[in-house]
A and B are shown apart, each in its own frame.
Chain A
Amino acid sequence: MPKVKAKRTLTKQSRIKKVLTGIQGLDEITEGGLPQGRPTLVCGSAGCGKTLLSMEFLVNGARDYDEPGVFIAFEEKEEELAENMESLGFNLKELEKKKKLAIDYILIERGEVEETGEYDLGGLFIRIEYAVRQVGARRIVIDSIETLFSGLQNENILRAELRRLFRWLKDKGLTAMITAEPGQGTLTRHGIEEYVADCVILLDHRVTEQTSTRRMRIIKYRGSVHGANEYPFIISEEGISVLPLTSIGRAYKVSRQHISTGVPRLDAMMDGKGYFRGSSILVTGTAGTGKSSIAMHMADATCRRGENCLYLASDASPDQIVRDAKSIGINLAKWARQGLLRFQSTRPTFSGMEAHLVYIHKTVNEFDPKVLVFDPISSMASTSSTLEVHSMLLRLIDFLKSRGITNLCTNLTTGGKFLEQPEVDISSVMDTWLLLRDVEYSGERTRMLSILKSRGMDHSNQMREFLITSKGVDLIDAYLGSGLVLTGAARTVQEMKEREEALLRAQETKRLEREIERNRKSTEAKINALRIELESREEEVKTLIQHQITNEKILTNDREIMGGMRKADSR
């Protein structure tokens, strides 16, 4: 937005001295507060927070800026004011005791006072001056001056005196806030804007679709630039908070540091290091795809680093989140106990979306988280029109980015639509977009994760199967074969097939081995048999030879016996 830039340069040139109101957001949209030493008109109908705004202006001045204040009340008594403000944490009595604040209740008797002849409002002037002198006031509130019109009949005198009053306030150098109620088609019922024209703030209280929204607009700021939009504001336990989100420029510094996603394999998919610090992460998916699990991991990883994490849960109570996280092995209760993790689980429908965002702002300012988890942002969509939700979320993300707070938003996509088109389309401002989807295949649902985009890093384009186990989220490679991505049981079947084949191959080898063994054994057996045969042959031969020798001997012997008998001497 070039407008923002133009504004910044103008501010430097503007000569008007300003005083800080100390009201959250108001000082930003007025670019530094109210005009010093001049009256500011605050108009708005009954119950829209005029008295509170002006009182906070005084209390902050007295307490934080060493500028004592005077409250001239025409409508509420001192005691009533003190009581009302106490519920917002302002201790008026104590400030009065310390002489930092003076409250003067001026009773206007409506029509009961007889008027005869000339008069002036010297009494009022003296009272104001007395109160101002008592505390050495630098700020003053007159709430609301128009009540005078109902108490005094001579309008000519009244108008002349009012003019004198405002001139007097300026002469005294008092930064004043004058409240008034709007009239028919006019800013104020009695045309006070004629006298108080340096700065005009309009407060408004609207109810659309049963949700109330308070808005503030700077109608006019003489000699200064200011945010021209309508800014939502809320009245909370700590007073007024204005949401000047559009006033934030986009010129924030970006970090080059990475932070872990809490899921090692997801880190691996993102340059091996995880998200960029201060970036915005969008996790979209249909119901039950594990968006919250990613969010829980993020919260866990943040607290592990010893950093504060703000967990905005609009769909579940903190207790439930802790329980659910435990079921996937994440102990969030521990971090909550240590004060590192803070849950905020108000539904935006309860307080109105603007109020919800203001609460977020407040908590962020006070808790100073490094990471904000918003689960889910789609719950915002139920409260207001899409356009409104969209602009509010953009403002929130801008705000977080300008603070360098890493934010992770989950967003529900409903079936039937394109998965890439989430319910609240803020994807253009997000740096990283994780898409979780359900894949139905052969009678089974499996979860898949892919990174649709991740600015400024080399991220994986692969789809991963997303498992939610009792030890947390795990990503496993999906089966990539024959141009098909298989997950879940289909992947398992494929893997089983492969295992079976491997087994078969192993069995075949074994069989072959056994066969060789058998061959060897039978060959050996044959060899054995042959050897035995040979041995028996040898034996036989030996026996034969023995026989022959024996026979020979017997024969020789016989011949000798025969020879003896024949008295042979042939030898």
Chain B
Amino acid sequence: MKSEPEESWKLRLYVSGETLNSRAALKNLKKICEEHQEHKFIIEVIDLLKNPELARGDQIIAVPTLVRQLPPPIRKIIGDLSNTEKVLIGLDIIPLPVR
């Protein structure tokens, strides 16, 4: 399933402060977005240390957590996003490898 380039992707990255994991996650996410410029990404980073009440809405337990808000359905990826392929599959940017 190929997504149309005009479709915008709304991603939220939940972190808790400036930890190694959060920095890594943000870095990895940015890299993925750059590599997939056929999509329009809107990235929102939420620091739960500053806005703890927001953890409830998306049911965040682990940090960092990446949430795909749009397009539906909501998808979540936990971790520093170091495995690019897993992130792409998790976000449904690329279909499951048929290899």
Interface residues of A (CB under 8 A from B): 104, 106-109, 112-127, 129-130, 148, 151-152
28 contacts between A and B (CB under 8 A): A106-B61, A107-B59, A108-B61, A109-B76, A114-B75, A114-B77, A114-B78, A114-B87, A115-B78, A115-B86, A116-B77, A116-B78, A116-B82, A117-B82, A117-B83, A119-B21, A119-B78, A120-B21, A122-B48, A123-B55, A123-B62, A123-B63, A123-B65, A124-B62, A126-B16, A126-B55, A130-B52, A130-B55
Q: For residue A130, which residues in chain B have a CB less than 8 angstroms away from its CB?
A: 52-53, 55
A122-B62, A124-B61 known; A112-B76 Cβ under 8 A: yes
Residue B33 CB within 8 A of the other chain: no
Q: Give residues 12-59 of B contacting A (CB, 8 Å).
A: 14, 16-17, 19-21, 24-25, 28, 48-49, 52-53, 55-56, 59
**B76 contacts A114, C-beta separation under 8 Å:** yes
Q: For residue B49, which residues in chain A have a CB less than 8 angstroms away from its CB?
A: 126
**A119 contacts B55, C-beta separation under 8 Å:** no
**Top 3 A-B pairs ranked by shortest CB distance?**
A114-B90, A117-B80, A117-B82
**B62 contacts A120, C-beta separation under 8 Å:** yes
**B63 contacts A117, C-beta separation under 8 Å:** no
**B79 contacts A115, C-beta separation under 8 Å:** yes
Q: For residue A124, which residues in chain B have a CB less than 8 angstroms away from its CB?
A: 61-62
The listed residue (A106, A109, A116) touching B79 by CB distance below 8 A is A116
Q: For residue A109, which residues in chain B have a CB less than 8 angstroms away from its CB?
A: 59, 76
Q: State in angstroms the CA–CA spacing of A117 and B64 once bound together.
A: 10
The listed residue (A113, A120, A151) touching B63 by CB distance below 8 A is A120
The CB with the most chain B CB atoms within 10 A, among A107, A108, A118, is that of: A118
Contacts A107-B59, A116-B78, A122-B62 supplied; 8 other A-B pairs, CB < 8 Å? A106-B61, A109-B59, A112-B76, A119-B63, A119-B80, A126-B16, A126-B52, A127-B60
**A121 contacts B62, C-beta separation under 8 Å:** yes
**B89 contacts A122, C-beta separation under 8 Å:** no
Q: State in angstroms the CA–CA spacing of A428 and B69 once bound together.
A: 74
A114-B89, A126-B55, A127-B55 known; A119-B79 Cβ under 8 A: yes
Closest to B20 in A: A118
Residue B11 CB within 8 A of the other chain: no
Q: State in angstroms the CA–CA spacing of A120 and B19 once bound together.
A: 10
Closest to B16 in A: A122
**B78 contacts A113, C-beta separation under 8 Å:** yes
The count of residues in chain B whose C-beta lies closer than 8 Å to any C-beta of chain A is: 35
The listed residue (A104, A106, A116) touching B81 by CB distance below 8 A is A116
A126-B48, A126-B52 known; A151-B79 Cβ under 8 A: no
A123-B55, A126-B16 known; A113-B60 Cβ under 8 A: no
**A116 contacts B80, C-beta separation under 8 Å:** yes
Q: State in angstroms the CA–CA spacing of A529 and B20 once bound together.
A: 157
Q: For residue B48, which residues in chain A have a CB less than 8 angstroms away from its CB?
A: 122-123, 126
Q: For residue B25, which residues in chain A have a CB less than 8 angstroms away from its CB?
A: 117
Q: For residue B79, which residues in chain A have a CB less than 8 angstroms away from its CB?
A: 115-119
The CB with the most chain B CB atoms within 10 A, among A108, A109, A115, is that of: A115
Q: For residue B19, which residues in chain A have a CB less than 8 angstroms away from its CB?
A: 120, 122
Q: State in angstroms the CA–CA spacing of A152 and B20 once bound together.
A: 20
The listed residue (B59, B63, B90) touching A106 by CB distance below 8 A is B59
Q: State in angstroms the CA–CA spacing of A408 and B11 once bound together.
A: 74
Q: For residue B78, which residues in chain A have a CB less than 8 angstroms away from its CB?
A: 113-116, 119, 152
Q: In the complex, how many angstroms separate the beta carbon of A280 from the nearest chain B beta carbon?
A: 57
Q: State in angstroms the CA–CA spacing of A127 and B58 once bound together.
A: 12
Closest to B84 in A: A116
The listed residue (B59, B75, B81) touching A117 by CB distance below 8 A is B81
**A118 contacts B80, C-beta separation under 8 Å:** yes
Q: State in angstroms the CA–CA spacing of A119 and B49 once bound together.
A: 16
Closest to B76 in A: A113
Q: For residue B24, which residues in chain A have a CB less than 8 angstroms away from its CB?
A: 117-118
Q: For residue B65, which residues in chain A have a CB less than 8 angstroms away from its CB?
A: 119, 123
Q: State in angstroms the CA–CA spacing of A152 and B59 once bound together.
A: 14
Q: In the complex, how many angstroms separate the beta carbon of A23 from the nearest chain B beta carbon?
A: 29
Q: State in angstroms the CA–CA spacing of A291 and B66 once bound together.
A: 76
Q: For residue A120, which residues in chain B have a CB less than 8 angstroms away from its CB?
A: 19, 21, 62-63
Q: State in angstroms the CA–CA spacing of A123 and B78 once bound together.
A: 11
Q: State in angstroms the CA–CA spacing of A148 and B86 once bound together.
A: 21
Q: For residue B76, which residues in chain A have a CB less than 8 angstroms away from its CB?
A: 109, 112-114
Q: State in angstroms the CA–CA spacing of A123 and B14 once bound together.
A: 8
Q: For residue A118, which residues in chain B have a CB less than 8 angstroms away from its CB?
A: 20-21, 24, 79-80, 82
Q: State in angstroms the CA–CA spacing of A129 and B51 once bound together.
A: 12
Q: For residue A129, which residues in chain B have a CB less than 8 angstroms away from its CB?
A: 52
Closest to B81 in A: A116
Q: State in angstroms the CA–CA spacing of A235 and B84 once bound together.
A: 52
Q: State in angstroms the CA–CA spacing of A152 and B61 once bound together.
A: 10
Q: For residue A152, which residues in chain B have a CB less than 8 angstroms away from its CB?
A: 61-62, 78
Q: For residue B52, which residues in chain A have a CB less than 8 angstroms away from its CB?
A: 126-127, 129-130
Q: For residue B20, which residues in chain A have a CB less than 8 angstroms away from its CB?
A: 118
Q: In the complex, how many angstroms separate the beta carbon of B93 from the nearest chain A beta carbon?
A: 12
Q: In the complex, how many angstroms separate the beta carbon of B24 from the nearest chain A beta carbon?
A: 7
Q: In the complex, how many angstroms separate the beta carbon of B91 from the nearest chain A beta carbon?
A: 9
A106-B61, A126-B16, A152-B62 known; A115-B77 Cβ under 8 A: yes
**A119 contacts B16, C-beta separation under 8 Å:** no
Q: State in angstroms the CA–CA spacing of A563 and B9 once bound together.
A: 206
Closest to B85 in A: A116
Q: For residue B75, which residues in chain A have a CB less than 8 angstroms away from its CB?
A: 114
